[in-house]
A and B are shown apart, each in its own frame.
Chain A
Amino acid sequence: MKLVFALAASTLFGTGAYLLLNRDLVRVVLGIVLISQGATLTLVASGLTRGRAAIYPLRGQVSDPLSQAMALTAIVIGLAVTALLLVLVLRVALEFQSRRLDEVAEEEAARDARLEAEEAADHASEDEAAR
Chain B
Amino acid sequence: MTAFTLTLVVPWAAGIVLVFCDGRRRTIGWLAVAALLGNLAALIVLATTVLGGEPLRATTGDWPAGVGIALRADALGIVFALVSSFALLAATVHEVLHGVAERVFPGLVALLAAALTGVFLTGDLFNFYVFFELAMAAGYILATYGGTRRELGAALVFTAVNLLGTFVFVLSVAGVYHVTGTLDMTQIAARLDTVNPNAAVLIAVGFFIAFGVKLGLFPFHFWLPTVYTGARPAVAAILSGGLANIGAYGLLRFGAELLPRELELAGTALIVVGCVSIVYGSLLAVSRRTAAETLAYSAIGQVGYILVAIGIGGPVGFAAAVAYSIVNALNKTLLFLTVQMRGALVGGAFVVGAFSLAGVPPASGFIGKLEIFRATADEPALLALILLGSALSFVYIFQIYQYDFWRGERAGPVSSRPQQALIAVVALVVLAAGVWPEPLLAFSRDAADVLVGGAR
Nearest chain A CB to B64 CB, angstrom units? 15
Instruction: Choose from B130, B147, B160, B171 the contact partner of A39 (Cβ within 8 Å).
Output: B171
Determine whether the beta carbon of A67 is less than 8 Å from that of B163: no
The answer to whether the Cβ of A129 comes within 8 Å of any Cβ in the partner chain is: no
* Assembled-state Cα–Cα distance A80/B166 (Å): 14
Determine whether the beta carbon of A96 is less than 8 Å from that of B149: yes
* Assembled-state Cα–Cα distance A39/B175 (Å): 11
Instruction: Choose from A32, A38, A43, A81 the contact partner of B173 (Cβ within 8 Å).
Output: A43
Determine whether the beta carbon of A70 is less than 8 Å from that of B156: no
The answer to whether the Cβ of A108 comes within 8 Å of any Cβ in the partner chain is: yes
Determine whether the beta carbon of A35 is less than 8 Å from that of B141: no
The answer to whether the Cβ of B351 comes within 8 Å of any Cβ in the partner chain is: no
Query: In the assembled complex, which residues on chain B have CB atoms less than 8 Å from the CB atom of A92?
Result: 152-153, 156
Query: In the assembled complex, which residues on chain B have CB atoms less than 8 Å from the CB atom of A81?
Result: 133, 137, 140, 163
* CB-CB contacts below 8 Å: A97-120 with B: 104, 107-108, 119
Nearest chain B CB to A125 CB, angstrom units? 14
* Assembled-state Cα–Cα distance A89/B148 (Å): 14
* CB-CB contacts below 8 Å: B172-187 with A: 173-175, 177-178, 181, 183
A70 nearest in chain B by CB position: B126
Query: In the assembled complex, which residues on chain B have CB atoms less than 8 Å from the CB atom of A32?
Result: 160, 163-164
The answer to whether the Cβ of B26 comes within 8 Å of any Cβ in the partner chain is: no
Q: A42-B170, A74-B170, A119-B289 are in contact. Are A84 and B177 (CB under 8 A)?
A: no
Determine whether the beta carbon of B153 is less than 8 Å from that of A66: no
Instruction: Choose from B144, B149, B155 the contact partner of A107 (Cβ within 8 Å).
Output: B149
The answer to whether the Cβ of A85 comes within 8 Å of any Cβ in the partner chain is: yes
Interface residues on chain B, number (Cβ under 8 Å): 31
Query: In the assembled complex, which residues on chain A have CB atoms less than 8 Å from the CB atom of B133?
Result: 77, 81
Encode contact with B along A7-45: 1 for CB under 8 Å, 0 otherwise.
000000000000010000100100010011011101101
The answer to whether the Cβ of A51 comes within 8 Å of any Cβ in the partner chain is: no
* CB-CB contacts below 8 Å: B117-165 with A: 126, 129-130, 133, 137, 140-141, 144, 147-150, 152-153, 155-156, 159-160, 163-164
* Assembled-state Cα–Cα distance A32/B149 (Å): 22
Determine whether the beta carbon of A70 is less than 8 Å from that of B177: yes
Nearest chain B CB to A45 CB, angstrom units? 7
Query: In the assembled complex, which residues on chain A have CB atoms less than 8 Å from the CB atom of B178?
Result: 45-47
Query: In the assembled complex, which residues on chain A have CB atoms less than 8 Å from the CB atom of B177?
Result: 43, 46-47, 66-67, 70
Query: In the assembled complex, which residues on chain B have CB atoms less than 8 Å from the CB atom of A91?
Result: 144, 147, 152
A69 nearest in chain B by CB position: B126
Instruction: Choose from A25, A36, A43, A84 the contact partner of B174 (Cβ within 8 Å).
Output: A43
A48 nearest in chain B by CB position: B178
Query: In the assembled complex, which residues on chain B have CB atoms less than 8 Å from the CB atom of A73?
Result: 126, 130
Query: In the assembled complex, which residues on chain A have CB atoms less than 8 Å from the CB atom of B170?
Result: 39-40, 42-43, 74
The answer to whether the Cβ of A124 comes within 8 Å of any Cβ in the partner chain is: no
Determine whether the beta carbon of B153 is less than 8 Å from that of A104: yes
The answer to whether the Cβ of A88 comes within 8 Å of any Cβ in the partner chain is: yes
The answer to whether the Cβ of B406 comes within 8 Å of any Cβ in the partner chain is: no
- Taking residues whose C-beta sits less than 8 angstroms from the other chain, chain A's interface range is 20 to 34
The answer to whether the Cβ of A127 comes within 8 Å of any Cβ in the partner chain is: no
The answer to whether the Cβ of B436 comes within 8 Å of any Cβ in the partner chain is: no
The answer to whether the Cβ of B63 comes within 8 Å of any Cβ in the partner chain is: no
A29 nearest in chain B by CB position: B160
* Assembled-state Cα–Cα distance A73/B150 (Å): 33
Query: In the assembled complex, which residues on chain A have CB atoms less than 8 Å from the CB atom of B144?
Result: 88, 91
Interface centre among B130, B152, B155, B170, by most chain A C-beta atoms within 10 angstroms, is B170
* Assembled-state Cα–Cα distance A96/B137 (Å): 23
Instruction: Choose from A42, A85, A95 the contact partner of B163 (Cβ within 8 Å).
Output: A85
Query: In the assembled complex, which residues on chain A have CB atoms less than 8 Å from the CB atom of B149?
Result: 95-96, 107
* Assembled-state Cα–Cα distance A88/B160 (Å): 10
A43 nearest in chain B by CB position: B174
Determine whether the beta carbon of B152 is less than 8 Å from that of A95: yes
Query: In the assembled complex, which residues on chain A have CB atoms less than 8 Å from the CB atom of B130?
Result: 73, 77
* Assembled-state Cα–Cα distance A46/B133 (Å): 20
Nearest chain A CB to B417 CB, angstrom units? 31
Query: In the assembled complex, which residues on chain B have CB atoms less than 8 Å from the CB atom of A67?
Result: 174, 177
Query: In the assembled complex, which residues on chain A have CB atoms less than 8 Å from the CB atom of B153?
Result: 92, 96, 104, 108
- B interface vs A, CB < 8 Å? 126, 129-130, 133, 137, 140-141, 144, 147-150, 152-153, 155-156, 159-160, 163-164, 167, 170-171, 173-175, 177-178, 181, 183, 289
- A interface vs B, CB < 8 Å? 20, 25, 28, 32, 35-36, 38-40, 42-43, 45-47, 66-67, 70, 73-74, 77, 80-81, 84-85, 88-89, 91-92, 95-96, 104, 107-108, 119
Nearest 10 A-B pairs (CB), nearest first? A46-B174, A46-B178, A39-B170, A39-B167, A42-B174, A43-B174, A46-B177, A77-B133, A92-B152, A95-B149
16 residue pairs of the A-B complex, CB under 8 angstroms, read: A32-B160, A35-B167, A36-B163, A36-B167, A66-B177, A66-B183, A70-B174, A73-B130, A84-B137, A84-B140, A88-B144, A91-B144, A92-B156, A95-B148, A96-B152, A96-B153
